[in-house]
Amino acid sequence: MSISLTLEALARLTEAKATEGDAAALARRLTGIAALADAGPDDLSFLGNPRYAAEVATSRAGAVLVPSDHPGAPAPGQAFVRVDRPSYALALVCAAVEASLWPRPPAGVHPSAVVDPAACVDPTAHVGPGCTLLAGASVGPRAVLEAQCHLGAGASVGADSWLKPRVTVGDHCVVGARCRLQSGAVVGSDGFGYEPVGDRVERIPQVGVVVLEDDVDIGANTTLDRARFSRTVVGRGTKIDNLVQVAHNVRIGRQCLVTAQVGIAGSTVLGDGCVLGGQSGVAGHLRLGDGVRLGAQAGLFEDVPAGGFMNGSPAVPFGLERRMAVLSRRLPELFKKVDSLAAALDALRKDAP
């Protein structure tokens, strides 16, 4: 990754409120991006998280994206670029880098790809080397399938979606428009359904599908099970991180954030705007209202109304969990205190007439 940006171009790109620095700083050309502690004189850095504010003063960065109201001034030879939100400003810079690093690959099907004659690939789409597309699969306009992707029978990928190498979309599953799927993601594995029959378990066929609405992102090696019947649904704009498990018949609302290694058990329904912390788990057949939040590693076993924030395993309301965590650390002290109370009481009883 390399960039080449004048301060002026940077200010324009980030819609800067102000640019500060001496003549040397303002004449600088930036060729890299780095964290405050790591940056050198040719690097752009940024203050995205207030906890790193003290690092600005000692950073050797050639230019720093800082919040408009950041106190202090740049060091000699250093520029401050004042913006509303440095994180977002950096994202704009990175988007420009990304567009040059990863231009959309050329339209067309790589000769090594195996495309069933009954599949339908839009002429503006890209299908990379080693892909396999079965009968009835369809790829929309400007969609990109990088190397070794697989689309099952009747599976579809919408316009402008981008599948990184080695994504699997199972038979009859649907990927909407502008989705982004990372390597190893599996859309449409069988749901885990078994029924005891006599002394053995019998598999319950899973004949539904997975539907990813538009603007959904799916992380690397994440698995989404097809519904027992009907649909497992991920709502528009929802983003799912790596190694997440979404079981059959789950319905996730719109604009949710599901972080890495979360598991959501079967038939659970999430509202819009929910945020699930890393490694948290949600039991089956639950209903979570809009905007529900779940802490990292929490384990949820009950319904939660809109706006609820739960933590711990089993999960309880966030404030209660925080008190429980603090008091749990004081258990050794509490046990001692109760023992000494008991002793004092005994002594008092002996003295009593």
156 is an interface residue for a copy of itself by CB under 8 A: no
In terms of residues, how long is the chain? 353
Q: What letter represents residue 269's amino acid?
A: V
Q: Which of residues 3-22 bind a copy of itself (CB under 8 A)?
A: none
Of these, 13, 42, 70, 88, which contacts a copy of itself (CB under 8 A)?
Answer: 88
Q: Tell me whether residue 28 or residue 164 sits nearer to a copy of itself (CB atom).
A: 164
Of these, 299, 303, 309, 318, which contacts a copy of itself (CB under 8 A)?
Answer: 299
Q: Tell me whether residue 4 or residue 22 sits nearer to a copy of itself (CB atom).
A: 4
Contact 33, 93 (CB under 8 A): yes
Contact 210, 191 (CB under 8 A): no
Helix axes 331-351, 318-329, angle to 10 degrees: 60
Q: What letter represents residue 30's amino acid?
A: L
260 is an interface residue for a copy of itself by CB under 8 A: yes
- C-alpha 21/C-alpha 266 separation (Å) is 57
Nearest-10 Cα torsion for 325, 329, 330, 334: 90
Q: Supply the minimum distance, in Å, between the C-beta of residue 347 and a copy of itself.
A: 9
- Which secondary structure element, helix H or strand E, spans residue 181, and what is its range? strand 180-181
Q: Tell me whether residue 73 or residue 338 sits nearer to a copy of itself (CB atom).
A: 338
Contact 189, 211 (CB under 8 A): no
- What is the DSSP secondary-structure string of 18-34? EEE--HHHHT-EE-EE-
- C-alpha 64/C-alpha 37 separation (Å) is 12
Q: Which of residues 189-228 bind a copy of itself (CB under 8 A)?
A: 189-190, 192-195, 197, 199-209, 215, 217, 219-221, 223, 225, 228
Question: Of the residues 70, 172, 248, 285, which is catalytic?
Answer: 248
Of these, 42, 122, 171, 303, which contacts a copy of itself (CB under 8 A)?
Answer: 171
257 is an interface residue for a copy of itself by CB under 8 A: yes
159 is an interface residue for a copy of itself by CB under 8 A: no
Q: Which of residues 26-55 bind a copy of itself (CB under 8 A)?
A: 32-35, 38, 49, 51
Q: Is 150 a catalytic residue?
A: no
Q: Which of residues 119-148 bind a copy of itself (CB under 8 A)?
A: 128-130, 132, 134, 147-148
Q: Which residues are known to be catalytic?
A: 248
